[in-house]
Amino acid sequence: MKIASLTMLAALLLPADLAGQELRASFTAGVGTYRMQSLKTYIEIINESLPFSPELVDAFPPSLWYSAEVAVIRGDFSWGLAVSYNSTGSRVSLKDYSGEYLSDRMLSSISPGFTAGYLLPPLAERITLTPGAMLGVTFSTMKVDETLVADEEYIDDYHEDFGAFGLYGGPSLRLAWAVTPAVSLELQTGYILTYGIARFKPKKERDSWSGSYEIHPDWNGLRCGLSLCIAFR
């Protein structure tokens, strides 16, 4: 999380020193959906292999995401650098008088990348619409916590951190309202497509580990958010 924060600060602060350029910095927070099909299938397989029948009680729900971006405005186009943070997860649970089974997966990603946008003519005074696209890389982590207690005896107590690398890209659309000449608010929406180059592997034994299943981070999904934009002239 520290790395993610520093990366976003760098993306925010470093371009601001460029003198004589028209820059725009934006900070976005919103809600994203996450497909995570590979993990859902994996969890289903695992559940079916267990001698009991646990339930997937939390299956990668929509959750908050954050993004920071700096962009240069030249003519009708904007060119920028952005970094975003997403997190989601799952829980498999079963509990009765004899014990409890819990299997939590907490996923997060840091995704630095490039953005490009086309500045359409203002729709109205102070209102503009900007279609765009983004492209970058994503560093995913998955933290697994699994415990099984039966008859007051720990049968399983498993904790492991996994990591994976991938690419992402997708279209976006921004509807901006200029509060002042330097400050504006934007409604932003887009769809993220990820391509997992590498599957999840444990961080500790990354080279020697070989799992039975290919599990790729699958951050595909809709992103909607509200941005605060500051222009530097």
Partner 1 sequence: MNHLRLITGVILLLFAVSCEYEPKGVSERSLQPPGEAPELITLELDLPLDNDTAILPYRHIWYHFESPGHEINWIRWYIDASMGETVRSDEGFFELPNFSQPDGWHNLRLEVFISSGTGSLADSLEMEGTVVSVGQWVVKTLGTQYKKVTPSSKDGFLRLRWPPAGDEQPEYTVSYMNQEIGKTTASEFIVKEYVGQGGRFAVSYIDSRDGSTVYYGYVELPEENYVSWQADRNNNYYVSLNKLPYYSAVDTIVLVMSDFRNGYLILDQTTDPGQSSFTLPDSLFGAQMKIWMVVVPKYKDASYNADYKYTSPFATPRIDVSVGYPSPAFSEFFHTGPGEFVYHGWLPGKSTDQDYILRYSLLHDSIVDYAGKPSSDPVTSGTWFRNPSVSADGSWYTARIPFSQSAVVGSADNLSGYRIADLTAVTSYSYITPMPVSNTGIGIVISNTEWHLYDFRNDVVVASRYEAAVTESQGISADGGYIYFRTYHELRLFSWHNGIINSEHVLSRGESPFYDFFAFFPEEPEMAAGWDASSGTFYKIRCSDLSTQNSFPVPEEMILDIDFYGSMILSYSRKTLVVRSLDDGTLLRSIPVSIINPGTGMLRLCGGSIFYNNGLRYFL
Residue 23 in the binding site for partner 1 (CB under 8 A)? no
For residue 219, what are the β-bridge partners?
Answer: none
Name which position in 151, 207, 208, 210 contacts partner 1 (CB under 8 A): 151
Could you tell me how many residues of this chain bind partner 1 (CB under 8 A)? 51
Q: Which is nearer to partner 1, 136 or 225 (CB)?
A: 225
Distance from C-alpha of 86 to C-alpha of 64, rounded to nearest angstrom: 7
Is residue 199 near partner 1 by the rule CB under 8 A?
Answer: no
What stretch of H or E contains 189?
strand 183-196
Does the protein bind partner 1 through residue 226 (CB under 8 A)?
no
What span, in angstroms and rounded, lies between the C-alpha atoms of 102 and 49? 15
Binder among 20, 49, 124, 153 for partner 1 (CB under 8 A): 153
Distances from the Cα of 233 to the Cα of 53, 121, 142, 181, 183, angstroms: 61, 20, 41, 10, 12
CB of 223 to partner 1, least distance (A): 15
Distance, in Å, from the CA atom of 38 to the CA atom of 216, rounded to the nearest integer, reads 6
CB 76 within 8 A of CB 17: no
Check residue 147 for interaction with partner 1 (CB under 8 A).
Answer: no
Question: Other C-beta atoms within 10 Å of 76: how many?
Answer: 11
Tell me if 113 contacts partner 1 by CB under 8 A: no
154 belongs to the binding site for partner 1 (CB under 8 A): no
**Is residue 22 part of the contact set for partner 1 (CB under 8 A)?**
no
Name the minimum Å distance from CB 6 to partner 1: 9
Shortest distance, position 94 Cβ to partner 1, whole Å: 5
Selected binder of partner 1 within 1, 14, 45, 127 (CB under 8 A): 1
| Token pair for 130 | 């900007």
Q: Are 102 and 146 in contact (CB under 8 A)?
A: yes
d(CA 1, CA 6) in angstroms, rounded, equals 9
Region 39-98 residues binding partner 1, contact defined as CB under 8 A: 50-52, 54-55, 57-58, 63-64, 66, 68, 85, 87-91, 93-98
Closest CA to 112 of 132, 84, 131: 84
Residue 179 is a binding residue for partner 1 (CB under 8 A): no
Distance spanning both ends of the chain, measured CA to CA: 32
160 is a site residue for partner 1 (CB under 8 A)? no
Residue 200 binds to partner 1 (criterion: CB under 8 A):
no
Q: Residue 38: in which H helix or E strand, if any?
A: helix 37-49
Contact residues: partner 1, CB under 8 A: 1, 4-5, 8-9, 12-13, 16, 25, 27, 29, 50-52, 54-55, 57-58, 63-64, 66, 68, 85, 87-91, 93-102, 104-108, 148, 150-151, 153, 155, 228, 230, 232
